[in-house]
Amino acid sequence: MNEHSKKPLLSSANETLLRDIRKDMGRFIHQPQRRIFLQHSLTLGGLALLSGCTVVDENSIENALMAISRFNDKVQALLFDPNRLAPTYPQSMITQPFPFNAFYGKNNIPEIEEEDFRLEVTGMVADKRSWTLKELRALPQVDQITRLICVEGWSAIGRWGGIQFSTFLRRIGADLTAKYVGFKCADEYYTSIDMPTALHPQTILTLTYNGEMLPPQYGFPLKLRMPTKLGYKNPKHIHAMFVTNVNPGGYWEDQGYNWFGGS
């Protein structure tokens, strides 16, 4: 499933497009039958109008994915409102089996020893000590069922649990006025997110999948799960994180994927 295109994304959306989007959003909001949908998911609503089709089923969502991945950061910032929640789903809608995806095949999934693991925390934080898994598990845990959307053109619903990332950032005395949080992974993957997304209530420092310890293929021992971002912004096998004002980029982002990566 490793078909990420390395083609550069469309450059910048122009002002006319932005104006049209705003106009469309106004129209959209005034259609009562769509209002409920929109309340649950501005981003999917935005996807519908931007791709020129009404998102009503899985297929149209999938078809519109490549389109949204090509939007520039400005357009996505407009679509993604950190005060809105991404849709959540009932247990019965969980995708089975949940897909595995990485920039390598299943044979190369990193093997990490629980005992040796430490989450390294650096940058603009008051408390730079490292964390064991046991310490992380002792923090308050939450659980949510959300959809992961990959730009390759698939999406899947899964249940992830862990620490609300905002709780963790406060716990380590992170400078919440800093612009970015960067992540380094055991498989050389790396990515970064903006602070509003880091503080979003559905952004979870994930320790479990389906109520069990995160399995290796889904990112053991630690991944960041954000239903408001495309799959590639959700790092698995995290071993270090840092708070910074210098945009740390990311594995796919540095090859042309949109940095904002909203979904």
Ligand X SMILES: Nc1nc2c(c(=O)[nH]1)N[C@H]1C(S)=C(S)[C@@H](COP(=O)(O)O)O[C@H]1N2
Query: Quick one: angle between helices 42-51 and 15-29, nearest 10?
Result: 120
Residue 226 interface partner, choices ligand X, Mo ion, none, CB cut-off 5-8 Å depending on type:
none
C-beta of 65 vs 178, nearer to Mo ion: 65
User: How many C-beta atoms surround the C-beta of residue 85 within 10 A?
Assistant: 17
C-beta of 38 vs 150, nearer to Mo ion: 150
Q: How many CA atoms lie within 13 A of 90 on its CB side?
A: 1
Q: Which two tokens stand for residue 152?
A: 């390759």
**What x-and-dash track marks residues 219-248 binding ligand X by CB under 6 A?**
------------xx-xxxx-----------
- DSSP letter, residue 96: S
Helices (H), 80-221: 133-137, 165-171, 195-198
AA identity, residue 260 = F
C-beta of 180 vs 232, nearer to Mo ion: 232
Task: Single out the residue of 44, 49, 79, 102 in contact with ligand X (rule: CB under 6 A).
Answer: 102
**In the complex, least distance from residue 223 CB atom to Mo ion, rounded to whole angstroms:** 13
**In the complex, least distance from residue 94 CB atom to ligand X, rounded to whole angstroms:** 13
Question: With binding defined as CB under 6 A, does residue 50 bind ligand X?
Answer: no
- For CA atoms 34, 30, 49, 54, the dihedral sign is positive
CB burial class (10 A; 0-12, 13-18, 19+) of residue 43? buried
C-alpha span between 58 and 154 (Å, rounded): 9
Task: Single out the residue of 117, 218, 220, 259 in contact with ligand X (rule: CB under 6 A).
Answer: 218
Task: Single out the residue of 51, 100, 122, 173 in contact with ligand X (rule: CB under 6 A).
Answer: 100
**In the complex, least distance from residue 4 CB atom to Mo ion, rounded to whole angstroms:** 7
Task: Single out the residue of 136, 145, 174, 185 in contact with ligand X (rule: CB under 6 A).
Answer: 185
C-beta of 121 vs 150, nearer to Mo ion: 150
Cis status of the peptide bond prior to 110, with omega within 30 of 0: no
Q: How many CA atoms lie within 13 A of 247 on its CB side?
A: 8
Q: Which residue is nearest to ligand X (CB)?
A: 231
C-beta of 68 vs 150, nearer to Mo ion: 150
Binding site for ligand X (CB under 6 A): 99-103, 148, 150, 185, 187, 189, 218, 231-232, 234-237
